[in-house]
Structure 1
Amino acid sequence: MGKEIERKFLVKGNFPKENGIRIIQGYLSSVPERTVRVRIKGDKGYLTVKGIGNESGASRFEWEIEIPVEDAKQLLNICEPGVIDKTRYRVKVGNHLFEIDEFYGDNEGLVIAEVELSDENEEFEKPEWLGEEVTGDVRYYNSMLMKNPYKNWREK
């Protein structure tokens, strides 16, 4: 079982859109103490359990297992209302890999970059397209975007 340490940023302007993969995901449980996510990523299925984040929002428990894509499709049918639809791009910057999610549907217009770190205070190169940091802002958690999509609050 692992611990996920990542920082999250809005993306401003253009970023490299290479090797994108479509992701569809839903949540069997979206309570902060234990989110249970079902995901179809390309032609693979996954079941993920995440714990509540620490005070900064950068670290939390994460466990994931690959499951048959047909099982993932069936589980999506019993998920809570709301689906996350996005394309994920993986962009190497310096010694780190950024995962950039471009959202569709009710979250259209939202683009978020995440970088996984070995320590919360680890230094990393920040490309020019990296915008405001939103680590720990629960509005940007996928489980919250499912309940209160970007289209409902982006102009407030």
Structure 2
Amino acid sequence: MIEIEKKFLVLNNSFKAAAFTQNHIAQGYLCSVPERTVRVRLKGDKGYLTIKGISNDTGMSRFEWEKEIPVDEAKKLLLLCEKGVIDKTRYEVKIGNHIFEIDEFYGKNEGLIMAEIELDFETETFEKPNWLGEEVTNDRRYYNSYLSNHPYKKW
């Protein structure tokens, strides 16, 4: 499956009032090289294993495969991950016909709030809420796999 998404910085917390879900997420990387990242995630009461390929030139599209796995297995796999497990809360906000996933980071990435929107095609238009800031889609520093090894607080 090809994932098409854009990433943005978030200007303020006003999105929280419109959130229809929020989940705590802990995620680590078994492999964080750009050509193939292998991620383990605990999201709420579910576990996931995700493999992502390298992004295209725009940074918007890449192969993604995800499978739900038992929580106890996800917890064990997190212990095998590279250093720098990501700790964040994910909020979901519906704007127009799209859902923004907004991540508020904690720990060594505290102070960073990012929004992602998945699209059907790269040139698809969407409504931009007033809390949406600078686009950082093609800036690899904002990939979670990068943040796990190069925390935002150290930039």
TM-score by length of 2: 0.97
Which residue of the other structure, out of 113, 116, 122, is the alignment partner of 1:120? 122
Secondary structure of residue in 1 paired with 2:145: helix
Which residue of the other structure, out of 102, 108, 111, is the alignment partner of 2:110? 108
CA contact (8 A) 2:15 2:131 kept: no
Q: How does 1:56-75 map to 2 (within 5 A)?
A: 56-75=58-77
Secondary structure of residue in 1 paired with 2:33: coil
- Count of matched residue pairs: 152
Task: Provide the residue aligned with 2:143 in structure 1.
Answer: 141
- Runs (5+) with no aligned partner, structure 1: none
Root-mean-square deviation (Å): 0.6
Runs of 4 or more above 4 Å deviation:
none
Could you tell me how far 1:20 is from its partner in structure 2?
1.1
Q: Which amino acid aligns with 1:141?
A: Y
CA contact (8 A) 2:30 2:39 kept: yes
Q: Which amino acid aligns with 1:77?
A: L
Task: Provide the residue aligned with 2:3 in structure 1.
Answer: 4
Secondary structure of residue in 2 paired with 1:30: strand
Does residue 129 of structure 1 match 2:128? no
Q: Which amino acid aligns with 1:63?
A: W
Task: Provide the residue aligned with 1:86 in structure 2.
Answer: 88
Q: Which amino acid aligns with 2:54?
A: I
Could you tell me how far 1:15 is from its partner in structure 2?
2.7
CA distance in 1, matches of 2:38, 2:54: 11
The alignment-based identity, stated in percent, is 70
